[in-house]
Amino acid sequence: MSTTPRWERCISHRSGAAEQFVRDYFQAEDRRVGLIAGAGFDPRSSRMAELLSGVAKDRVRALFLREDRPVPDANLVDSAVENVRRLNGLIPDNVVESFDVFDRRDNAPVGGRRVIGVLGKRLNTDGLTDLVIDCSALSVGVCFTITKYCLDVAERCHLNLHLTVVDHPDTDGAIEATHCGRPSSPHGFQGERPLAKNDQAARLWLPQLGQGKRSVLEEVHKFVNPHEVCPILPFPATWPRSPDTLIEGYGDLFEGPWKVDARDLIYAHEKSPLDLYRAILRIDNARERVFRGTGGSQVILSPVGSKAVALGMLMAALEKNFAVVLVESLAYKAAPAVLDVGPNPAGELVHIWLHGEAYASASREVAREG
């Protein structure tokens, strides 16, 4: 049986090439497009809607999602309202749905389960050829859950499924998050087995390091209780000094409870999700052979930095059913300058063609090999 990774030959684009793909591909008259995107305060909310509206306005319908959190900042609410106004103008055939990310009784993270309920009621795929999930203004946990749900829909309904994100580290760094302090797994990403301390599997934790995420990752480390830690650093990175700065910021954890040395570090291209996806699968394949006779290996992923890099984790988790552990954000703050709403927000578009007709011939080839 073939062991070729599912997305070994994945079609992906970034920056100008990604925008050109969107224009060329979706301008075809036979394309009927469904867009799922966030309708929050993030200035990148409208970028994908603008691109699709420019080439397929009468052939696209959208489901815009608003993530409700307790006691939101008034400035962020105003920005979200303005973003929704822009999105309504760009794609008139749309539905805007809100859902709670935290339970109103005990603040338990429930965003994944709630968004699945919204998708079950509101996602209409009738007549579509393509489904686009724009992760730019969706939280990571919610984005993971939506993608898993939609991948199943795409496989059953024979749809093309695309992932996009407007990647801009400066905007990410300017948005401050207050975390709930409760590590959890996004809905559908609990992995093959529970994270029990008496499990015989050798637990490997792969945390994506990010500025301002130290306290979050310390909580996740305690929760996961791994046997080994391999931190993920961006390289190449938008800011060349970024890996060195992160190593300095986490150095005492490397020497202390995490027990990390230079050989344990994973370097992944900050703009290429596929780079990290392939690295994670190589690590898992090597560990599977080593630990096969001693209880097996368990890989746990924690995406807390760049969303472009997080998509590589998402693809690996989808393929190998890895556990994902993170801490949901209870609230956000951002400077007014970050929230300016307007056309062409800063950042590079990243596109991944996750499923569909582009892989039909490859699937037949794998089936013959198997």
132-136, 245-249, 292-296: least confidently modelled range: 292-296
Bridge partner residues of 102 (DSSP): 109
236 has pLDDT over 70 = yes
324 has pLDDT over 80 = yes
Q: The tokens of 129 are what?
A: 């050829």
Q: Please check whether residues 215 and 320 belong to one and the same domain.
A: yes
Q: In this structure, is residue 330 part of a structural domain?
A: no
d(CA 159, CA 152): 10
d(CA 261, CA 194): 28
Band of the pLDDT at 316, cuts 50, 70, 90?
Answer: very high
Q: In this structure, is residue 6 part of a structural domain?
A: no
Q: In this structure, is residue 5 part of a structural domain?
A: no
**Alpha-carbon distance values, 226 to 149, 203, 297, 320, 323 (Å):** 28, 5, 11, 19, 12
Q: Please check whether residues 32 and 144 belong to one and the same domain.
A: yes
Band of the pLDDT at 352, cuts 50, 70, 90?
Answer: very high
Q: In the chain, how many domains are there?
A: 2
Q: In this structure, is residue 146 part of a structural domain?
A: yes
Determine the angle formed by the axes of helices 242-255 and 214-224, rounding to 10 degrees. Answer: 40
Band of the pLDDT at 345, cuts 50, 70, 90?
Answer: low
Q: Please check whether residues 317 and 265 belong to one and the same domain.
A: yes
Residue 238: per-residue pLDDT: 81
Q: What is the mean pLDDT of residues 80-84?
A: 93
Eight-class DSSP state of 348: E
Residue 259 structural domain: 186-324
Residue 369: per-residue pLDDT: 44
Q: What is the mean pLDDT of residues 45-73?
A: 95
363 has pLDDT over 80 = no
Residue 291: per-residue pLDDT: 93
Give the distance from CA 45 to its chain's centroid. 15
Q: Please check whether residues 18 and 166 belong to one and the same domain.
A: yes
Q: In this structure, is residue 119 part of a structural domain?
A: yes
The residues, ordered by sequence, that sit 6+ positions from 154 with a Cβ below 8 Å of its Cβ are 131, 160, 161, 354, 355, 356
Residue 334: per-residue pLDDT: 86
The residues, ordered by sequence, that sit 6+ positions from 241 with a Cβ below 8 Å of its Cβ are none
Which stretches of the chain are DSSP H helices?
16-26, 47-56, 74-90, 111-122, 140-157, 169-174, 214-224, 242-255, 273-291, 307-320, 360-369
368 has pLDDT over 50 = no
343 has pLDDT over 80 = no
63-72, 229-238, 327-336: least confidently modelled range: 327-336
Q: What is the mean pLDDT of residues 33-53?
A: 94
Residue 222: per-residue pLDDT: 96
Q: Please check whether residues 346 and 303 belong to one and the same domain.
A: no
Q: Please check whether residues 115 and 205 belong to one and the same domain.
A: no
- The answer to whether 249 and 207 are in contact (CB under 8 A) is no
354 has pLDDT over 70 = yes
365 has pLDDT over 80 = no
Mean pLDDT of the chain: 91
Q: Please check whether residues 266 and 355 belong to one and the same domain.
A: no
Q: Please check whether residues 212 and 314 belong to one and the same domain.
A: yes
Q: Please check whether residues 200 and 136 belong to one and the same domain.
A: no
Q: What is the pLDDT of residues 152-202, one digit of tens each?
A: 999 999 999 999 999 887 777 778 889 898 999 999 999 986 676 557 899
Q: The tokens of 182 are what?
A: 């409760």
Q: In this structure, is residue 227 part of a structural domain?
A: yes
Q: Please check whether residues 341 and 262 belong to one and the same domain.
A: no
Q: What is the mean pLDDT of residues 202-210?
A: 95
Containing 267, the helix (H) or strand (E) segment is: strand 266-268
Eight-class DSSP state of 108: -
364 has pLDDT over 90 = no
Residue 344: per-residue pLDDT: 63
- The answer to whether 235 and 243 are in contact (CB under 8 A) is yes
Q: What is the mean pLDDT of residues 16-26?
A: 97
Secondary-structure percent of the chain, ordered helix, strand, coil, rounded to 5: 45, 25, 30
Q: Please check whether residues 61 and 136 belong to one and the same domain.
A: yes
CATH number at residue 167: 3.40.50
Q: Please check whether residues 202 and 243 belong to one and the same domain.
A: yes
Q: The tokens of 251 are what?
A: 């150095």
Residue 175: per-residue pLDDT: 85
Q: Which residue has the higher pLDDT, 340 or 144?
A: 144
What residue has token string 């931190």?
A: 231
Residue 185: per-residue pLDDT: 96
d(CA 306, CA 317): 17
79 has pLDDT over 60 = yes
State percent of the chain over pLDDT 90.
75
What DSSP string describes 124-183?
A: --TT-SEEEEE-TTS-HHHHHHHHHHHHHHHHHHT-EEEEEEEE-HHHHHHEEEEEEEEE
